[in-house]
Structure 1
Amino acid sequence: MRVHMKLFAKILTAIALLTGFASVNAPVQAQEVQKIVAIVNDDVISGYDVIQRINLNIFMAGLPANNRTRQQLVPSVIKTLIDDQLKLQEAKRRNTEASDQEINRAIEQFEQRFNIRPGKFEEALATIRVDPETVIHQIRATIGWDKLIRRRIVPRINVTEAEIKSKQEELRANKGKNEYRIREIFLPIEVASKEPEIRQNAENLAGQLKQGANFARVAAQFSEGPTAANGGLVGWQMAEEMAPEIARSVAKLEPGKISEPIRTRDGYYIVAVEDIRKILGESSSDALMELAQIVVPLKPAEDNNRKDSQTQLAKTVSSFVNGCEYLQDMASEMVNNESGKMGRVQLSNLPDKFRNLVENLEEGEASDPFLDEDKYRIFIVCNRTDTRMQSDSEEAIRQLIGNKRIEARARRYLNDLRREASIESR
């Protein structure tokens, strides 16, 4: 990779001035925001791009919108913008670019995730001074890269029977031990004199996370560990697999809690414990589900023909649905405001009559129609995570090993693109 030796030093110098103009209430000077920050294989990243992505990340992560946060975000935002440009270029070269339909669907998901009224995407972004193209650029990079990985890497992943058997033996040998699902933020200490500053940064981040900032998005921006690209997700680990300092801290945390900064040999960690389970435990599953529903209203009982047709419609919808991809189109056909996404719910928190309908459904499956007074309800499982159920079945282990292998090869692919790219500063 042809990179000027002082690339990031130059970039940070250029952006240091720009972030002073980036606060929501300050006027943005055109000559500053249009400065060229980096050129990635002839594609330009400007100061405007950096400021816009910083504003977006502050909104998405729930971080305080002040200049200190903006300054902290500069290095990670520049790196992310460079990576996104590389992903877009490779997706174009390999013909896996996002389609208009995929982009529109992603915008709808963005609206749902951040409680934006349907169709108010641009208006909502205007209130936080974010150009809609900033979000669309990020969406294009994500979708194009995901399609590329599915096409070029996933078909080549092979998990052998010997690997599956080895993992089964490992699980059975550790049956009954606690396993923790954790996320991490890692801030390395490369120069001893920088430790006070790094510790202060870690304490600031821990404080913001405990006040409600989104851990995954903060990790993606600030963590310098290998899990940053995946929102800091480490996954399930036993205490024996962690650094001793981290294991001691994790053992004191309940699910949903966040640690204070943890000093290790290499730097500071902030750890979130998302859940705790027993390896191959006997407890029943309490799945976390993202549900949607289609509601088919009935006419009064005297209109028997109409009632029969609606009953048949409900049965047809139930048998036809195979996921949430086209839910919005289907919901609009029902002409009522109850159909649509219901959000994420814990299986145990659902009323019995609904829990019995969905507890055995897999991701993408729809329930039988449920007659609820004057309407039929059909529930669809958009996403399902059985956090407390661990399986030593061949298929579950094959998927576990395969997913880790896909992530590792995708990281290698991106690293190769960085090495081969021409990245210059101006």
Structure 2
Amino acid sequence: MRFERSITGLAVAALLSSTALAQTAPQTPGPAAAGVPNPAGPATPAAAPAPQFQLADGVLATVNDSVITGFDLRQRMLLLIAQTQVQPTPENLPAIRQQALNLIIDERLQNQELDRYPDIKATDAEVEEELTAMASEVGATAEAYAQSLAQFGIRPSTLREQLRTQIGWQRLVGGRFQSRARVSQGAVQAALRQATEAALKKQYLIGEIYIESARVGGQQAALNGATQLVQQMVQGAPFQAVAQQFSAAPSATRGGDAGWVVEGTVQPALQQAMDQLSPGELSRPIPVEGGVYILYMRDKRDGSTSSLAQIKQMMVELPATATEAQVAAATQRLEALRPQLTCDNILARATSEQGLLGTDLGEADPANLLPQFQQVARSGAVGSISTPIRTQLGVHLLAVCGRRAGGAEAPNAQQVENRLFGQNLATLGRRYMRDLRQDAAIEFKS
């Protein structure tokens, strides 16, 4: 929960601070840009009074006979406003209300599921430890943190119960799906190959917020809500906190961090916006099928030609003065062997036959290899054996046994495995939540 904790702490820190951070919009924003957001920290006037809005009293909804009252919804709306620093307006209050109601419904379902596993529920001590850690990250004590919430009209118990549910739910999802989320070595190697191919294309470091139309009452409601969120973020609401609370994308748990996105892997409308946005700019709402996106362009980089190839070779030594007949004989011998060779056996075959040499060239930048080898190292398919290649040293067969992106930013196998595991676990958790919603009896009172 560490990333979620820091986002919430930064947002609520605005209630503890007496300084507002200024926002600077670009002087000439591009056609896709709405302005410059505050990517992480609070940027609204401090110690604002609790927002004033009216909600119906009594029961608003039931979730499997668990009652949601007007008081419950108001408390969650206030907490949502405090966490995101989105200032309530007549235009965005319906979206805030809908999101708060969705969050309460999800938490009621999560708590009902957690009731089946009492051993994994978060204890009071664990909740207090989490609250203390959140407060310390913004330089406050737990008591001062709770007082700031109370001044905003939020009962400290509201945040405590949210934390209790989050701790228990993450524990339940992790325990239940850990084995299913594990990543095969084949998937890791495939992802590494994709990363190598992606390194040759333009890449965009993206923050994303996705408003799903089905959850907010239709496409127009999603567009209206996204428009209000963009205005709030340009005025100071922290992008990460808004993404965590409002986005339906899997990246919401990471504050909207979608990581490096490769050119050509997203919908055309999103690609067009990414091409137009400059680093530091926030997009206008981008309608797509099923919802609306908001993009924050954190950085861009051009494709790199830097890649590393793992090469093994078999060769017949011949001097530069060898006759055409000698070269032809060596070429014919290697050509006859080529269909039988693989990365696994090429060195063994070379050492077992007289007149052949085998060498593992290891992992190398193609630019550092002999000129005759460079094209094979750059473009040969992994697992392929080249046709015979003549150099001043002899005649060679090259086996391309691996390839990965080069440079300091290239991921290693462990990083890829961890990322894929996290994605798998998040996907399984979302499916779990979807199934609970589908099976639940949710009734809204008029």
TM range (shorter): 0.5 to 0.7
Equivalent residues of 2:135, 2:142 under 8 A apart:
yes
Equivalent residues of 1:88, 1:97 under 8 A apart:
no
Per-residue deviation, 1:165: 1.8
Report the secondary structure of 1:237's partner residue. Answer: strand
Gaps of 5+ in 2: 1-48, 307-406
Per-residue deviation, 1:279: 7.0
Residue range with higher mean Cα deviation, 123-132 or 257-266: 257-266
Paired residue for 1:39, among 55, 59, 62?
A: 62
Paired residue for 2:100, among 77, 89, 93?
A: 77
Per-residue deviation, 1:420: 2.1
Report the secondary structure of 1:153's partner residue. Answer: helix
Query: Cα–Cα, structure 1 residues 114 and 74, in superposed 2: closer, same or farther, change >3 Å?
Result: farther
Query: Cα–Cα, structure 1 residues 264 and 158, in superposed 2: closer, same or farther, change >3 Å?
Result: closer
Paired residue for 1:24, among 50, 60, 68?
A: 50
Matches within 5 A, 1:274-293: 274-276=298-300
Partner of residue 438, structure 2 = 419
1:79-110 CA-partner distances (Å, limit 9, x unpaired): 11010111122223123111222101211133
Partner of residue 180, structure 2 = 156
Matches within 5 A, 1:96-135: 96-135=120-159
Query: Cα–Cα, structure 1 residues 280 and 144, in superposed 2: closer, same or farther, change >3 Å?
Result: farther
Report the secondary structure of 1:403's partner residue. Answer: helix
Query: Cα–Cα, structure 1 residues 279 and 412, in superposed 2: closer, same or farther, change >3 Å?
Result: farther
Equivalent residues of 2:92, 2:225 under 8 A apart:
no
Matches within 5 A, 1:198-277: 199-225=223-249, 227-228=251-252, 231-264=255-288, 266-276=290-300
Give the TM-score normalised by structure 2: 0.59
Per-residue deviation, 1:406: 0.7
Query: Cα–Cα, structure 1 residues 26 and 195, in superposed 2: closer, same or farther, change >3 Å?
Result: closer
Query: Cα–Cα, structure 1 residues 118 and 277, in superposed 2: closer, same or farther, change >3 Å?
Result: farther
1:51-106 CA-partner distances (Å, limit 9, x unpaired): 01111111111111444433221111111101011112222312311122210121
Tell me how large the CA RMSD over aligned residues is: 3.2
Equivalent residues of 1:41, 1:421 under 8 A apart:
yes
Q: Distance in 1 between matches of 2:303 and 2:120?
A: 39
Is 1:400 the counterpart of 2:426 in the alignment? no
Q: Distance in 2 between matches of 1:79 and 1:198?
A: 14
Q: Distance in 2 between matches of 1:274 and 1:212?
A: 17
Residue range with higher mean Cα deviation, 70-79 or 139-148: 70-79
Per-residue deviation, 1:209: 1.0
Is 1:171 the counterpart of 2:195 in the alignment? yes
Partner of residue 136, structure 1 = 160
Equivalent residues of 2:284, 2:294 under 8 A apart:
yes
Residue range with higher mean Cα deviation, 168-177 or 78-87: 168-177
Q: Distance in 2 between matches of 1:76 and 1:277?
A: 35
Per-residue deviation, 1:389: 5.1
Q: Which amino acid aligns with 1:157?
A: A
Q: Distance in 1 between matches of 2:412 and 2:71?
A: 51
1:89-135 CA-partner distances (Å, limit 9, x unpaired): 22231231112221012111332355544421321111111111110
Q: Distance in 1 between matches of 2:53 and 2:219?
A: 35
Matches within 5 A, 1:177-196: 177-187=201-211
Q: Distance in 2 between matches of 1:110 and 1:181?
A: 27
Q: Distance in 2 between matches of 1:27 and 1:203?
A: 21
Q: Which amino acid aligns with 1:122?
A: A
Report the secondary structure of 2:259's partner residue. Answer: strand
Residue range with higher mean Cα deviation, 269-278 or 164-173: 269-278
Q: Distance in 2 between matches of 1:132 and 1:389?
A: 45
Equivalent residues of 1:250, 1:273 under 8 A apart:
yes
Q: Distance in 1 between matches of 2:54 and 2:213?
A: 35
Residue range with higher mean Cα deviation, 392-401 or 122-131: 392-401
Give the TM-score normalised by structure 1: 0.61
Per-residue deviation, 1:153: 1.0
Per-residue deviation, 1:138: 0.8
Q: Distance in 2 between matches of 1:38 and 1:420?
A: 16
* Percent of matched pairs sharing the same residue: 27
Q: Distance in 2 between matches of 1:160 and 1:198?
A: 38
Matches within 5 A, 1:233-382: 233-264=257-288, 266-276=290-300
Query: Cα–Cα, structure 1 residues 394 and 25, in superposed 2: closer, same or farther, change >3 Å?
Result: closer
Query: Cα–Cα, structure 1 residues 50 and 168, in superposed 2: closer, same or farther, change >3 Å?
Result: same
Report the secondary structure of 1:93's partner residue. Answer: coil
1:349-407 CA-partner distances (Å, limit 9, x unpaired): xxxxxxxxxxxxxxxxxxxxxxxxxxxxxxxxxxxxxxx95444321221122111111
Q: Which amino acid aligns with 1:165?
A: Q
Is 1:60 the counterpart of 2:70 in the alignment? no
Residue range with higher mean Cα deviation, 181-190 or 414-423: 181-190
Gaps of 5+ in 1: 1-22, 283-387
Q: Which amino acid aligns with 1:422?
A: A
Per-residue deviation, 1:266: 4.9
Equivalent residues of 1:54, 1:70 under 8 A apart:
no
Equivalent residues of 1:281, 1:389 under 8 A apart:
no
Partner of residue 3, structure 1 = none
How many residues are treated as equivalent by the alignment?
Answer: 295
Partner of residue 112, structure 2 = 89
Partner of residue 330, structure 1 = none
